[in-house]
Amino acid sequence: MENDTTIPRIPGLAQRLVAPLPPPLIGSLAARLMRQAGKSHPELFARLGEHAYKRYEIAPSDLPFVFLMTPDPAAPQLRVLRKGRASWDCRISGSLAALLGMIHGAYDGDALFFSRDITVEGDTAAGLALRNAIDNSEIDLFEEATALLGPLRSRAIPGLTPLVNALERRTGVALRRVEL
């Protein structure tokens, strides 16, 4: 049988490159990415129901900042803050590789939770709703990011796809949706 799982780590060099970036710059890019994902997957908001209006802190343990988001369908918000500065309803933390792997369907959220690779604090129902809504949406952040390129997308894809695939192979981190 198959499918034993170990969580890879984001390489130290990548962490060192990202760490000094100003949070507002990352926040602006991440907010555009979230709005794009919401446009592509409107069913996500229906699954969240009342939990769409909660404040979620997504805290990658290997980065010096956190993502604070409210996936309100009318006005989705996302900000990037240094750690410890946000107030939240639900906080989900874990390595960036674990969080990306969960979004992309590489890992099971419960298994990550029971193995302590991720932690969930605060409003457990909100965390569960977000996890289930994202899992059902089969989001691919690479597809969403390239959609932001607009008319340049079709020209960029042939160059970017092999690059992302090579990065995935090299690091083991799920940078795209896993085809199950």
Per CB under 8 A, residues contacting another protein are: 1-5, 46-49, 51, 102, 105-111, 113-116, 119-121, 124-133, 135-138, 178, 180
Integer Cα distance of 87 and 91 in angstroms: 9
Give the CB-side neighbour count of residue 112, counting CA atoms within 13 A: 24
CB of 150 to another protein, least distance (A): 28
CA of residue 7 relative to chain centroid, distance? 15
Q: Minimal distance in Å, beta carbon 134 to another protein?
A: 9
- Residue 2's SS3 state is coil
Q: Helix axis angle, 96-103 relative to 124-137, nearest 10°? A: 60
Nearer to another protein, 124 or 165 (CB): 124
Q: Which is nearer to another protein, 15 or 119 (CB)?
A: 119
60, containing H or E segment: strand 56-60
CB of 97 to another protein, least distance (A): 14
Nearer to another protein, 6 or 151 (CB): 6
Closest approach of Cβ 135 to another protein, in Å?
5
